[in-house]
Amino acid sequence: MRKTKFRTMVIAVSLMVAFTWSCGSGEKAPLLDKEHIKSQIFDPEVIILDVRAPKDWQVSNKKIQGAVRREPDEVTTWAENLPKDKKIVLY
C-alpha cells in the first residue's frame, strides 16, 4: 500500500513536471482545490485528465464526470497532443 502511494505520487509529480516542460512557458502549474475544480467541470475551456495509476483508477469509485482517462506511463505520447488554448487539469 505504501509503495503504491509513493509510486502514484512520483508519477503525479513527473506528470506535472513533464506537462509544464512540454508547454514551454516556464510558468509553474497552479495547484487547485476541489471547490475550484467543481466550478469548472462543465467549462468547455477546461480539460480534466485523470492520470492516476491504472490500479488506483480501477479500484476507485471516485471519478470526475467528463474527465478524460490517460495512462501516466504514456505522458510523452499524449501530452504533445493537448490543445494549447485550453486549461488542462491533471488529477
Instruction: Give residue 69's pLDDT.
Output: 93
- Which domain covers residue 69, as residue numbers? 2-90
Average pLDDT in the 4-29 region? 60
- Per-residue CA distances from 68 to 6, 16, 71 (Å): 23, 16, 10
pTM of the model: 0.63
| Number of domains composing the chain | 1
* pLDDT tens-digit map of 31-59: 888 888 888 888 999 999 999 998 998 89
Instruction: Give residue 49's pLDDT.
Output: 92
